[in-house]
Amino acid sequence: MTAFRQSLVEYHERSKHRVNHYAPGPGELDWATQPNPFREFRGAPQIGLPLAADTLATRYNDVRRGNLPPPRAFDLRNIAILFELSLGLSAWKSYGANRWALRCNPSSGNLHPTEGYLLCRPLAGLSAGVYHYLSRDHLLEQRAAVNDPRWSEGFSGNGVLVGISSIYWREAWKYGMRAWRYCQHDCGHAIAAVSYAAAALGWQTRLICSAADEAVAGLLGLDRSEDFGFAEAEAPDALLWVGDSDVPPDLERMRAALNKARWYGRANQLSSGHVQWQDIDSIHRVTHKSLTREPAPPDRGQRTPPAPPALDLDFARIARQRRSAVNFDGTTHITAAAFFAMLECLIAQRDTPPWNALASPALVHPALLVHRVDGLEPGLYLLLRNPAFLSRMKQSMRPEWLWQKAGPAHLPLYFLLPYDLRDVAKLICCHQDIGADSCFALGMLAQFDAALNEPWRYRHLFWECGILGHVLYLEAEAAGVRSTGIGCFFDDEMHALLGIEDHSWQSLYHFTMGGAVDDRRLSTLPPYEFQP
Ligand SMILES: Cc1cc2nc3c(=O)[nH]c(=O)nc-3n(C[C@H](O)[C@H](O)[C@H](O)COP(=O)(O)O)c2cc1C
């Protein structure tokens, strides 16, 4: 085993939560160093964005079926809608004297390590450059002004780039070693959130898979140590091409143009003190990504469009009302038809969000612990998102599983075991009641050897999990129920249930869905009090 592979396996094993001990964390929370949830670049010119999402009439059902509206113009107003409905605030919550913001994108512990950037050529209302999105105030901070013509030439098609980075410290402050995993999940959620919002504007989203980390850092200005000083570093994650055509941008040309750019602003420091998590530094190094070739888009057949959800809501409403349930009632059922429609949305389609963002073949498959789905026997099911893996999956799991085809013929869903798994689901979710009180819980089985062969893919496996989770969040809202991402789970308890004994498949993220019970002690305030 190469040293890199070994370090990756070590991180993976040591960051597992186990029934008898949790992954290394900070112990008690140090409230004095609680990170500021908002990154700002002080001194950078600010461009206020209009709150225009309410003018968007696109229905959620059309977006999830891939029926996109005609592409809108790339101008300030539409860029504002893109950010408002993906990384923007969705509400403020308050309890006593405490007030905290929620966003359209979820985040483990609501810590929001993810930062968003915009790179554009001159657009109506925006000059060419690099911008950081400050969700608190719904504005863009101009990090770089670029006049070199190579910048605009780099955007060969009609569109913009959205950049994503992570501030690991924000999560590590609370979760220690396992925090790096959560940052990756959150990145996946952010990719999906951007892809959905872009689709509601008629735009396609493609992850630029070939980009090296250095290229992403250079284009977003994350490598400008003079602008960061003692402020927490941002790790380069992803560049998304958001456009109305498939012409990829020429990143090299754009980077060359940045040599003559004028940069503005200094990053704010989020905490007065930090704890260095060596394991996070190590997994960051191990999963470094160099320049690769863009993968050929997989041959994805036409999927059967999912049945309409129970509620026919507009996309803007669904994006902003998405919430995590804190408790489930333990009684709500969903219908088998609604359940199958949700699963259909998890099957990748080239031009349908959020799967349009990923060119790689599906490597993650949900194993479902079904408790309360009318017309479906409670028990263990598997949705094999890539049917090519059927025999490998069978070999890796208990020989006694039924592998009985379930649901509509076109849905690659298999029934493995009839059983009441409520107690098991609760145990696997680190004893959280929402595992048992849900309609169903699930673990996402990732083809782990993809990461062992190319360590940077470890990040992408978590992203794929986050994307799957985001589909479930939105589908739950449209079905009149609610979801919750579960980062706290006992990894090897899930593997033991399934009979997985090696690293061929590893469960990287869990999820639950059910009838939510709200915490009535909390008040909800609108996301942006000012009106344009
Ligand atoms: C990667 C990830 C892991 C999470 N893990 C848990 C969990 O184990 N238990 C839980 O109750 N909520 C969990 N959540 C939900 C977050 O606490 C929630 O997203 C956050 O508080 C923000 O609230 P919102 O989703 O309603 O916007 C998780 C969310 C994400 C994205």
Burial class of 202 by CB neighbour count within 10 A (0 to 12, 13 to 18, 19+)? middle
Q: How far does the centroid of ligand 1 lie from the alpha carbon of residue 109, in Å? A: 6
Q: How far does the centroid of ligand 1 lie from the alpha carbon of residue 188, in Å? A: 14
Q: How far does the centroid of ligand 1 lie from the alpha carbon of residue 110, in Å? A: 7
Report the alpha-carbon distance of residue 242 to residue 162 in Å, rounded: 7
Q: H/E/C letters for each residue in 475-506?
A: HHHHCCCEEEEECCCEHHHHHHHHCCCCCCEE
Report the alpha-carbon distance of residue 8 to residue 269 in Å, rounded: 30
Pocket probe mutation, ligand 1, options 183, 467, 474, 486, max atoms within 8 Å of Cβ: 486
| pLDDT for 292 | 84
DSSP per residue, 375-417: TS-SEEEEE-SSGGGHHHHHHHS-TT---EEESSTTS-EEEEE
Pocket probe mutation, ligand 1, options 89, 95, 107, 175, max atoms within 8 Å of Cβ: 107
Indicate which residue's Cα is closest to atom 7 of ligand 1. 486
Length of the chain: 532
Report the alpha-carbon distance of residue 481 to residue 475 in Å, rounded: 9
Pocket probe mutation, ligand 1, options 90, 104, 108, max atoms within 8 Å of Cβ: 108
Q: Rounded to 5 degrees, what angle do the CA atoms 339, 345, 346 make?
A: 95
Q: What is the pLDDT along the chain (532 residues), one digit of tens a residue?
A: 688 899 999 999 999 999 999 999 999 999 999 999 999 999 999 999 999 999 999 999 999 999 999 999 999 999 999 999 999 999 999 999 999 999 999 999 999 999 999 999 999 999 999 999 999 999 999 999 999 999 999 998 899 999 999 999 999 999 999 999 999 999 999 999 999 999 999 999 999 999 999 999 999 999 999 999 999 999 999 999 999 878 789 999 999 999 999 999 999 999 999 999 999 999 999 999 998 888 777 666 677 899 999 999 999 999 999 999 999 999 999 999 999 999 999 999 889 999 999 988 999 999 999 999 999 999 999 999 999 999 999 999 999 999 999 999 999 999 999 999 999 999 999 999 999 999 999 999 999 999 999 999 999 999 999 999 999 999 999 999 999 999 999 999 999 999 999 999 999 999 999 999 999 999 999 999 744 3
Distance linking the first and last C-alpha atoms of the chain: 58
Distances in whole angstroms, Cα of residue 227 to Cα of each of 44, 183, 325: 11, 23, 39
Tokens representing 350 are 């080239």
Tokens representing 490 are 């006992």
Q: How far does the centroid of ligand 1 lie from the alpha carbon of residue 220, in Å? A: 27
Report the alpha-carbon distance of residue 88 to residue 527 in Å, rounded: 9
For residue 431, is it left (φ>0), alpha (ψ between -120 and 50) or beta?
left
Q: Which amino acids bring their CB within 6 angstroms of ligand 1?
A: 102, 106-110, 182, 185-186, 189, 323-324, 432, 484-488
Cα 275 to the center of its chain, rounded Å? 26
Ligand 1 atom with the smallest distance to the CA of 104 is 27
Report the alpha-carbon distance of residue 418 to residue 22 in Å, rounded: 30
Indicate which residue's Cα is closest to atom 9 of ligand 1. 486
Ligand 1 atom with the smallest distance to the CA of 189 is 31
Strand partners, 134: 139
Strand partners, 262: 145
- Whether residue 233 contacts residue 274, with contact meaning beta carbons closer than 8 Å, is answered with no
- Whether residue 412 contacts residue 387, with contact meaning beta carbons closer than 8 Å, is answered with yes
Indicate which residue's Cα is closest to atom 16 of ligand 1. 108
Q: Omega before 70 cis (within 30°)?
A: no
Ligand 1 atom with the smallest distance to the CA of 103 is 27
Burial class of 290 by CB neighbour count within 10 A (0 to 12, 13 to 18, 19+)? exposed
Q: How far does the centroid of ligand 1 lie from the alpha carbon of residue 130, in Å? A: 30
Distances in whole angstroms, Cα of residue 416 to Cα of each of 294, 368, 385, 513, 525: 37, 10, 16, 20, 45
Q: Looking up tokens 């951007």, which residue turns up? A: 194
C-beta atoms surrounding 420 within 10 Å: 12
Q: How far does the centroid of ligand 1 lie from the alpha carbon of residue 508, in Å? A: 15
DSSP per residue, 2-60: -HHHHHHHHHHHHT-BBTTBPPP--SS--GGGPPPS---EETS-EEE----GGG---BH
**Nearest by Cα to 77 from 532, 424, 391, 425:** 532
Q: How far does the centroid of ligand 1 lie from the alpha carbon of residue 59, in Å? A: 26
Tokens representing 137 are 């105030």
Report the alpha-carbon distance of residue 133 to residue 215 in Å, rounded: 20
Indicate which residue's Cα is closest to atom 11 of ligand 1. 326
- Whether residue 118 contacts residue 194, with contact meaning beta carbons closer than 8 Å, is answered with no
Q: How far does the centroid of ligand 1 lie from the alpha carbon of residue 300, in Å? A: 31
Strand partners, 139: 48, 134
Q: How far does the centroid of ligand 1 lie from the alpha carbon of residue 487, in Å? A: 7
| pLDDT for 300 | 66
Report the alpha-carbon distance of residue 23 to residue 174 in Å, rounded: 12
DSSP per residue, 220-258: HTTT-HHHHTTSPP-EEEEEEEEESS-----HHHHHHHH
Q: How far does the centroid of ligand 1 lie from the alpha carbon of residue 142, in Å? A: 31
Q: How far does the centroid of ligand 1 lie from the alpha carbon of residue 452, in Å? A: 28
Tokens representing 124 are 């109506």
Ligand 1 atom with the smallest distance to the CA of 509 is 1
